[in-house]
Amino acid sequence: MDGIVVIDKPAGYSSHDVVSEVKKILGVRKAGHTGTLDPMATGVLPVCVGEATKLAQFLTAQHKTYLATMLLGVQTDTQDTEGQVIRTSDGPVPEEDLRQTLKRMVGRIRQVPPAYSALKHKGKPLYKYARAGEFPEVAAREVEIFSLDVKSIARPYVTFEISCSKGTYIRTVCSDVGKILGCGACLAGLRRLRSGFFTEDMAVVLEKKPSATPREILADRLLPLARLLPDMPAVETAPALADRIRTGFQPDAGTLRQNVLPFLAAGDVIKFTLPDGDLVAVAEMLMPADALAGQDDKARAARILRVFGQPIRNN
């Protein structure tokens, strides 16, 4: 069983809990998620099963969209309402100042990852340091907020939809807004609406009772490998070439010259598929497509990163 099932993660479950539940329901040994959601958060959590676990690295970098609720006037050690309250404030915040501050978050910004997060420092998650009372200095990282749309203001709560790049902490967005306004703020609720290609309408709701979700429901909603990576440039291969790739062949200039798209640059990632759409491999271009014409046929042109499936015939 290979593919991705999109789970509507319930509140109170860790991402690891969801993966364990999916493995138990489907009876599979290999599974993993494509990006952690905090236990308090709900929504879209793609879970890779079987061969699809090889694709996780190509799915985590995609854009994500959330519906977030911020609590004004409360600052906590975890930057959300599940942490210990550090300070409170009931000072008035003009609505125009609030909207302008949220607007300032759009674009490329720098964030210091929260102390209570799964980000690793010297091989250990930051939350383990924090629980031990240690708070190592972590450098700020650049992330990008593509859009932020205020949905409602019902003081002290503000609900907004935010679209952002990989690695953006919505908790930190709320905390930073609170610092700028001077009143403090934290995250009170979070739902992921989209993770790259995966959306709410693809998601399966897990029953609250452990293992109560029927296996047939998850199996029926499993997205096959052929439907994944829809935006990645594809090179259609004959079965004979697919066999060669699956047994170690590294694509050369002669092989790719007539098959790749002209705008590809060195470093771009492409996928090899069979005519029926089945995924054969994912590879990195080692030279731009427009340079293939001047290369020797045997010059290595791409590096295979992942291979899927077994050879279907002997050459």
Residues 173 and 238 in one domain: no
Residues 110 and 182 in one domain: yes
Could you tell me what percent of the chain has a pLDDT over 90?
60
Structure tokens at 245: 């790739």
191 neighbors 64 (Cβ within 8 angstroms): no
Query: Cα 127 vs. chain centroid, distance in angstroms?
Result: 20
pLDDT of residue 132: 80
Average pLDDT value for residue range 197-225: 83
Residues 202 and 191 in one domain: no
Residues 173 and 100 in one domain: yes
- pLDDT higher at 201 or 124: 201
pLDDT tens digit sequence for 278-292: 999 999 999 998 888
- Residue 312: inside a domain: no
Query: By C-alpha distance, which of 202, 230, 229 is closest to 218?
Result: 202
213 neighbors 182 (Cβ within 8 angstroms): no
Residues 17 and 76 in one domain: no
End-to-end CA distance of the chain: 27
48 neighbors 32 (Cβ within 8 angstroms): yes
Active-site residue list = 38
112 neighbors 172 (Cβ within 8 angstroms): yes
pLDDT of residue 314: 52
Name residue 64's beta-bridge partners: 164, 195
Strands of the sheet with 269-273, listed across from one edge: 234-236, 269-273, 279-285, 302-307
CATH number, domain of 289, equals 2.30.130.10
Residues 40 and 89 in one domain: no
pLDDT of residue 124: 80
- Residue 159: inside a domain: yes
Residues 78 and 190 in one domain: yes
Residues 252 and 289 in one domain: yes
Query: By C-alpha distance, which of 157, 223, 263, 234 is closest to 1?
Result: 223
Q: Which long-range contacts (CB under 8 A, 24 or more apart) does 75-79 make?
A: 75/175, 75/178, 75/184, 75/185, 75/186, 76/186, 77/115, 77/116, 77/130, 78/114, 78/115, 78/116, 78/171, 78/186, 79/114, 79/116, 79/169, 79/171, 79/172, 79/174, 79/175, 79/186, 79/187
Average pLDDT value for residue range 31-51: 91
- Residue 53: inside a domain: yes
271 neighbors 235 (Cβ within 8 angstroms): yes
User: Residues 250, 254, 259, 264: is their CA dihedral positive or negative?
Assistant: positive
Residues 31 and 14 in one domain: yes
Q: What is the C-alpha separation between 224 and 79, in angstroms, rounded?
A: 38
pLDDT of residue 161: 98
- Residue 313: inside a domain: no
Most confident of 84-98, 112-126, 260-274: 84-98
Could you tell me what percent of the chain has a pLDDT over 70?
97
CATH number, domain of 27, equals 3.30.2350.10
pLDDT tens digit sequence for 131-170: 887 778 888 899 999 999 999 999 999 999 999 998 899 9
Average pLDDT value for residue range 306-313: 79
If one counts the domains in the chain, the total is: 3
SS3 content of the chain, % helix, strand, coil (to 5): 25, 35, 40
Confidence check: pLDDT of 310 > 80: no
- Residue 210: inside a domain: yes
- Residue 315: inside a domain: no
Q: Peptide bond before 156: cis, by omega within 30 degrees of 0?
A: yes
Confidence check: pLDDT of 315 > 50: no
Confidence of residue 99 (pLDDT cuts 50, 70, 90): very high
pLDDT of residue 131: 82
Q: What is the C-alpha separation between 47 and 56, in angstroms, rounded?
A: 9
Q: Is 243 helix (H, G, I), strand (E, B) or coil?
A: helix
pLDDT of residue 211: 57
45 neighbors 192 (Cβ within 8 angstroms): yes
Residues 210 and 297 in one domain: no
78 neighbors 171 (Cβ within 8 angstroms): yes
pLDDT of residue 116: 73
pLDDT tens digit sequence for 161-209: 999 998 899 999 999 999 999 999 999 999 999 998 899 999 998 876 6
Q: Which domain holds residue 20?
A: 3-62+197-227
Residues 68 and 191 in one domain: yes
